[in-house]
A and B are shown apart, each in its own frame.
Chain A
């Protein structure tokens, strides 16, 4: 579904170029759950921003369902984000003036969905994510975990095909993190959501089916979970991180 071909991204002026992404290539199949790991500055957020069309690449192609996103105009990109991509951010990014229900419905109204359908769609998804009870509340009245689940609901409610998550557990305590990751796994398995998650937390990454390791803008390694249990996979991730070098071990 998603194909990344030799993308490069440079920052800075002529004399002082920083290579944020260096010939990165990989594919994401329909219904996959991929985690991208790396230390701060390894280029993982840049990669996510390029895929999410918020940022542009310096070279290379990003194809989503065979469509090159570099060929789209600004207006088409906005439409593309609305219809195809769902976002989950570290700091939730819910509008605090809207109730949880309205935050979820916002994605639909941006898509000019039939207003009469909105309520029904919100109900469906919030039952699945276990947030029916908090729909009437405002973001400041609910917990971080609930906010993040609401963000997941917003990311999926308009039928987006690719869910992009940037450190989704970053602001959550360990119990809420576990809960969220289980929900994401459930979304992946039962609702067929394709998920691309950026994280520097090995525990979060262990929920994915495949983990890509990024270092200095390049793909350093790739790990597949296969049929192994999550705890075995977790330890394997830790082993790779140890190989990656000291700078990441301090965040584990």
Chain B
């Protein structure tokens, strides 16, 4: 039997015994390949100018991913080396040189890694098609399935993979070369010495770390840079301190309550856990840290996505929307001249926005929500203009009732406005509330009012001074990048000309707003999810590998317990208990830290943005759901595997 044949056989066995590792490797490669494919996708580069940064961001994210997967592979390889040290010792015992054994192990890992690479790339190209579909949908472009393999992306994936593997294998090679037969054969015994150590110092660390954890979370919630960094540092110290000292905290807890530990399966569950923590405390802390990073990235991703897409919805409802402050010069004609000549328009409306003499409505709103006072009076528009805008946007028709005013506001103000029943004085007349509408109508800053506008009968506004003029239009074709640039330069020119007069104008093109939001989402949210997914998978896989490695230990334990008369149901219960705590523990601190963080992040956005399915509560829930979905897959895999192998028939 040649070395390479033995390697091949061992590789098969490795893929089977460490299936979780293999699957995670495949998934990691496929994600890496799919994301890197975006770099070379020409379609993407033409989508929007701002997306040119995407390749750089993906490469940066990939470098982080390479480091994480490198750590994962290196950790697992070292772990396998420990588990199989007796086998390697036997090879040396029967006459193989250390170098040959190192080569054997290297080949074996190369075969497993190579397979993972090939399968990962095949899978990744489907994943890439999914991502392409998502991106094109975001940009309102037609998607057609086209199975392509980009040679450059493959080469890049291979390159990343070589970095990961060579790093991990170099370490194990050095380790095998310097090992003596005795060490290899008795490697397992070396570990057993350090099962549990208790000391007062650890108890102190335990208390201190909990305090630091709370402080760290509070600092993170403050939301600015310096406290944020300090908070993150506190949390890192907390996690390591907590997991390293937890093992001693539990016995101390039971020392004070001696009866508690003999209750039901408590004894077995907690001892198994503390024994495990004593040996893998650092690892648990690292995993907890990774989980925190996962939840924070997923929450941030959710948040950015919600902010960008919801803002865009508000600002992109008209194909063209120009607002100019009223004054001596009619700058609006500068715009309309250009548009008339260059942009085919289906329908347009030029209308005025007025201010009331009081802020009665603003005062009411301010009572219930945080509101930024952008105008000195409540904004108003004529009913005829309003009806025309509704028609242009395809919203249902509204019939006027004399003596009333309507409110058109952002959705979050709906209840507040519907509860308002007081008459509203405008000049000499007094109007009663007549209804509330909340469709998108560009209601930010100098648009159709800032988040709300009052729609009043035309005659009420007849003699009132205009605050700003608006040109709103639907175009035949979406406004192109060139048209957008041209209109922007007009705006720039007006700004410069009117510097002294301080004429303010603003301009939105629906297609450009959408494209910018889409490219923002692709550039910020995609890399965040990319990192989050890879982190979840590697961390969960390492936990699972650790857990499955305990199979023999659990088996011995349950055989003995069976002899002592524990029945199968109780064993299953104890196993489940051990399992739940093992997997829940590293997830508890991340959840406690990230839930307030994400919630707070969602609250931080301007009002009216984080509502409905993207309310702070919902995005927190979504981030947790996404994380626990992938985590649960690993937990179920590990539990079914372990239960089958461990519990006696």
Chain B residues lying within 8 Å of A140, measured Cβ to Cβ, are 192-193, 195
CA distance A85 to B272 in the complex (A): 25
A79 within 8 A of B: yes
- Chain B nearest Cβ from A243, distance in angstroms: 34
In the docked arrangement, what's the CA distance between A37 and B261, Å? Answer: 40
Binding stretch for chain B, among A22-30, A106-114, A198-206, A228-236: A106-114
A106 and B263 CA atoms in complex are apart in Å by 10
Query: Could you tell me the distance between the alpha carbons of A240 and B258 in the complex, rounded to whole angstroms?
Result: 51
- Contact: B567 with A78, CB < 8 Å? yes
Chain A positions 37-80 with a Cβ under 8 Å from a chain B Cβ: 52, 54, 74-75, 78-80
User: In the complex, what distance in Å separates the CA atom of A54 from the CA atom of B648?
Assistant: 12
Residue of A whose beta carbon sits closest to that of B271: A97
Interface residues on A, range: 20 to 34
Contact residues, A98-150 vs B (CB, 8 A): 98, 102, 105-111, 113, 115-116, 118-119, 138, 140
| Any B CB within 8 A of the CB of A95 | yes
B196 interfacial by beta-carbon distance below 8 Å: yes
Task: Encode contact with A along B247-276: 1 for CB under 8 Å, 0 otherwise.
Answer: 000000000001111111001100110110
A6 at the interface (CB under 8 A from B): no
Residues in chain B near residue A87, CB distance under 8 A: 563-564
B515 → A minimal CB distance (Å): 59
Instruction: Decide: A109 and B564 in contact? CB cutoff 8 A.
Output: no
Q: Is B560 close to A, CB under 8 A?
A: yes
Q: How far is the CA of A103 from the CA of B565 in the complex (A)?
A: 14
Contacts of B561 in A (CB 8 A): 110
Inter-chain contact A106/B267, CB cutoff 8 Å: yes
**A105 to B262, Cβ gap below 8 A?**
yes
Residue of A nearest to B258 (CB): A119
Let me know if B632 is at the binding interface, CB within 8 A: no
The complex places the Cα of A80 from the Cα of B564 at a distance, in Å, of: 10
Interface residues of B in 546-564 (CB under 8 A from A): 557, 560-564
Using known A-B contacts A95-B560, A115-B262, determine if residue A82 contacts B566 with beta carbons closer than 8 Å: yes
How many angstroms from the CA of A154 to the CA of B640 in the assembled complex?
32
Q: How far is the CA of A229 from the CA of B192 in the complex (A)?
A: 44
> Do B259 and A118 touch (CB < 8 A)?
yes
Across the interface, which residues of B come within 8 angstroms of A75, CB to CB? 567
Indicate whether A110 sits within 8 Å of B566 (C-beta atoms), given known contacts A97-B275, A102-B261, A118-B262.
Answer: yes
Kindly count the residue-residue contacts between A and B in the assembled complex, taking CB atoms under 8 Å apart: 81
Q: Say which residue of A52, A82, A108 sits within 8 Å of B262 (CB atoms).
A: A108
Q: Is the interface of A mostly helix, strand, loop or mixed?
A: helix
Which chain A positions have C-beta within 8 A of B557? 95
Could you tell me the distance between the alpha carbons of A96 and B274 in the complex, rounded to whole angstroms?
A: 12
CA distance A95 to B193 in the complex (A): 15
Asked if A3 CB lies within 8 Å of chain B CBs, one says no
Residues of B within 8 A of A249 (CB): none
Q: Report how far A106 CA is from B261 CA in the complex, Å.
A: 10
Q: Which residue of A lies closest to B257 (CB)?
A: A115
Q: How many residues of B contact A (CB 8 A)?
A: 28
Assess whether A83 is interfacial by the CB under 8 Å rule: yes
Which chain B residues border A83 with CB–CB below 8 Å?
565
Task: Please give, as numbers and ranges, the residues of chain B lying within 8 Å of A93 by CB-CB distance.
Answer: 560, 563
- B-chain residues with CB within 8 Å of residue A19 when the two chains form the complex: none
Contacts of B272 in A (CB 8 A): 97
CB contact list, B160-202 vs A, under 8 A: 192-193, 195-196
Q: How far is the CA of A119 from the CA of B192 in the complex (A)?
A: 28
A95–B565 CB distance below 8 A:
no
Interface residues of A in 177-227 (CB under 8 A from B): none
| Bound complex: CA A87 to CA B263 (Å) | 22
Given the known A-B contacts A113-B262, A115-B260, A138-B196, are A98 and B271 also in contact in the complex, defined by CB atoms under 8 Å? yes
A81 within 8 A of B: yes
The distance in angstroms between the C-alpha atoms of A78 and B274, with both chains bound, is: 28
The complex places the Cα of A140 from the Cα of B568 at a distance, in Å, of 28
- State the CA gap A116–B258 with chains docked (Å): 8
Q: How far is the CB of A95 from chain B (nearest CB, A)?
A: 6
Smallest CB separation, B265 vs chain A (Å): 8
Q: How far is the CA of A54 from the CA of B195 in the complex (A)?
A: 31
Which single member of A80, A96, A119 contacts B565 (CB below 8 Å)?
A: A80
* Closest chain B residue to A113, Cβ basis: B262
A102 to chain B, nearest CB (A): 6
Contact across chains for B195 and A96 when beta carbons are under 8 A apart: yes
Q: Is B267 a contact of A102 with CB atoms below 8 Å?
A: yes
Let me know if A109 and B267 touch, CB within 8 A: yes
Closest to A49 in B: B563
Chain B residues in 8 Å Cβ range of A119: 258-259
Alpha-carbon separation in the docked complex, A75 to B568 (Å)? 8
For the complex, give the distance between the alpha carbons of A107 and B563 in Å.
Answer: 11
Q: Are A97 and B263 in contact (CB under 8 A)?
A: no
Q: Which chain A residue lies CB-closest to B192?
A: A140
Residues 149-185 of A contacting B (Cβ, < 8 Å): 154
Alpha-carbon separation in the docked complex, A66 to B243 (Å): 53
| A140 vs B197: C-alpha distance when bound (angstroms) | 12
A102:B271 contact, CB within 8 angstroms: yes
Q: Is the CB of B564 within 8 A of A105?
A: no
Chain A proximity of B535: nearest CB distance (Å): 30
In-complex Cβ contact of A82 among B195, B560, B564 (8 A): B564
- Per-position 1/0 for B270-292, Cβ under 8 A of A: 01101100000000000000000
A95-B271, A98-B271, A102-B271 known; A109-B563 Cβ under 8 A: no
Residue among B267, B565, B566, B570 making CB contact with A105, cutoff 8 Å: B267
Bound form: Cα–Cα A115–B259 in Å: 5
Most buried by B among A97, A116, A154: A97
Q: How long is the Cα–Cα vector from A118 to B264 in the complex, in angstroms?
A: 13
Q: Report B18 CB to chain A, min CB distance, Å.
A: 24
The distance from the CB of B253 to the nearest CB of chain A, in whole angstroms, is 14
Q: Are A109 and B262 in contact (CB under 8 A)?
A: yes
A105–B270 CA distance with the chains assembled, in angstroms: 14
Q: Return A195 CB to nearest CB of chain B, in Å.
A: 17
Chain A residues with Cβ below 8 Å from B263 are: 109, 115
A98 to B566, CA, bound (A): 17
CB distance from A116 to the nearest CB of B (A): 5
Identify 6 residue pairs between A and B in the complex whose beta-carbon atoms are under 8 Å apart, listed by A's number.
Answer: A54-B562, A79-B565, A80-B565, A109-B263, A118-B259, A154-B564
A residues touching B (Cβ–Cβ < 8 Å)? 52, 54, 74-75, 78-83, 85, 87, 93, 95-98, 102, 105-111, 113, 115-116, 118-119, 138, 140, 154
Apart from A97-B271, A118-B258, list 11 A-B contacts with CB within 8 A.
A79-B567, A81-B563, A82-B564, A93-B560, A96-B195, A98-B268, A106-B564, A109-B262, A109-B267, A110-B566, A119-B259
Top 6 nearest A-B pairs (CB, nearest first) are A82-B565, A81-B565, A78-B567, A115-B259, A97-B275, A109-B262
